[in-house]
Amino acid sequence: MTRKPLTGGRMVALVVGVLFLWPSGLAAQVVPPGGQRARELERRLEARFQDMIQERLELGPEEARRLQSVMESFREDRMTLNRAQSSLRHQLRDPALPDLTEEEAREILREMIRLQEEELELYRREQEELLSVLSPTQLVRFYSLREALGRRLRQLRERRGAGTIGGGAAPFR
């Protein structure tokens, strides 16, 4: 079987194909063995996370609403980026990887850099928006709480054998 090089167009088609086939929404990103019960647990954890953020960052109702709005505004971009990163990680696990041509390898390396740059830009935009709602101290505490929740979700999924969202990416970014 002859492998065609992953040119820019083929790489884009591959990534776009994966994005259209991948389910959207936090609860839909992983279909856990527990099905509906596990999704409900994730929804409750997310709701508890929102309450905890409001409480620990000492946010009033309006600030909490604005924070939720900012988080929601970046959710789709974050999920799209996570899917593209997951697709690339899947490609790197391909058994045919040793048979790559030099051009295919260069294309993969370019895609790795592009995705890292995209992630950094998304992080910068998100942080700027979050700083319009939170003080720098609150934002650092917010990131700490979000990381702790991400660890907790990964632990729960690992116990269920379901893996992690986006191949290990932190949720709620």
pLDDT, tens digit (0-9, with 9 covering 90-100), for 18-77: 333 233 333 334 444 567 887 888 788 778 888 889 999 999 999 999 999 999 999 999
Is this model's pTM higher than 0.95 or not? no
**Residue 133: burial class (beta carbons within 10 Å; 0-12, 13-18, 19+):** buried
Count Cβ atoms below 10 Å from residue 70 Cβ, excluding itself. 17
